[in-house]
Amino acid sequence: MEMLNEIMDAMIRGSLIGFFASFWLMGLVAVWRWFLGVVKRFLHWLCPKWFKPKTEEADKN
């Protein structure tokens, strides 16, 4: 019976660790996406000539 309790306890702990680790990873990805978006907007503001929008003629070629 003790071994069964230990196995159940290990399964619950593993599930909780996996659950919270996945939330932590999603939060980390969200922060990095936000940060890279801010950097991209700053670069567009800093050097607008590098980021000219494509014209329709360039898309047809």
Under 8 Å between Cβ of 51 and 43: yes
Positions of the chain with pLDDT under 70: 53-61
Can you give the residue ranges of every domain in the chain? 2-60
DSSP tag of 1: -
> Rounded to the nearest 5°, which phi and psi values hold at 52?
-70, 140
Under 8 Å between Cβ of 11 and 3: no
pLDDT at 28: 97
Helix spans in 1-61 (H): 2-46, 56-60
pLDDT at 55: 65
pLDDT at 39: 92
How far is Cα 14 from Cα 12, in angstroms, rounded to an integer? Answer: 5
pLDDT at 52: 73
